[in-house]
Amino acid sequence: MKNVILIAAPAAGKGTEAALLKEQYNIPHISTGDILREKAKENSELGREIKSKIDNGEFVSDDLIIDILNMRVQKEDCNNGYILDGFPRNVNQAIAYQKMLDKIGINIGVVIVIDIDKNLAAKRSAGRVYCPKCKEVYSINTQEKKSKVDGICDKCGETLVKRADDNEETYMERYNKYIEKTSPLIDYYEKRGVVYHVNGNNGIASTHEQVVKILGE
Ligand code: AMP
């Protein structure tokens, strides 16, 4: 059983690495951002509230996200482990998550921190586009992640779109939130002896190689 928590600044490559791990280990990639972006499309008060929070780089409420997680990790496809991308996002969520795991008898697994320079992550955010259908992520400014045809998803032919929160101003908002709220989690998990650091500055293949060395075959 492989349970993996990925922690990194926004646009550092968590989603890309999670997708590779999903392929390699055949375990689900749980992105709370993707789940929330789907909910944000709903024409309801909750949908509109979530959309506004995401677009402004704010966090949605801990209670909502913990409910979503609780339901998701108890699905059958998580029996052999799962990759968490975007959760927990603060210490309060980590404490609630630990209570949830204790209750259902699941081990925390490993926490992988992808370290990256702030300017590089901001550049990746500025160049990021994604497929609204299959969620595959591409970059318009990184060779390793370019789509074969500009603006079109390699996998399903959909037109690629930009996330509303991938603009310079909102990126800074999200980055500052990461430093203030999410980075204390590294210390929280280091005290529990489950943290591994990888260097995310050298691209997708390098990051993945380091992660696989930690997780094993
Ligand atoms: P991401 O795709 O991980 O960059 O998340 C996009 C946005 O979804 C974030 O900026 C938050 O608004 C929201 N979000 C995702 N995960 C969480 C979480 N664990 N707690 C609170 N808000 C979240």
pLDDT tens-digit series, residues 19-75: 999 999 999 999 999 999 999 999 999 999 999 999 998 999 999 999 999 999 999
Above pLDDT 70, what percent of the chain?
A: 100
Cα of 148 vs centre of ligand 1, distance in Å, is 29
Please state, rounded to an integer, the average pLDDT across all residues of the chain.
94
The dihedral region occupied by 100, where left means phi > 0, alpha psi between -120 and 50, and beta the remainder, is alpha
What is d(CA 29, CA 27) in angstroms, rounded to the nearest whole number? 7
Structure tokens belonging to residue 179: 């430093």
The residue whose CB lies within 8 Å of the most ligand 1 atoms, and thus the one to mutate among 39, 59, 100, is 59
Nearest ligand 1 atom to the CA of 85 is 3
Q: What is the mean pLDDT of residues 137-147?
A: 90
Rounded-to-integer distance, Cα 168 and Cα 115, Å: 20
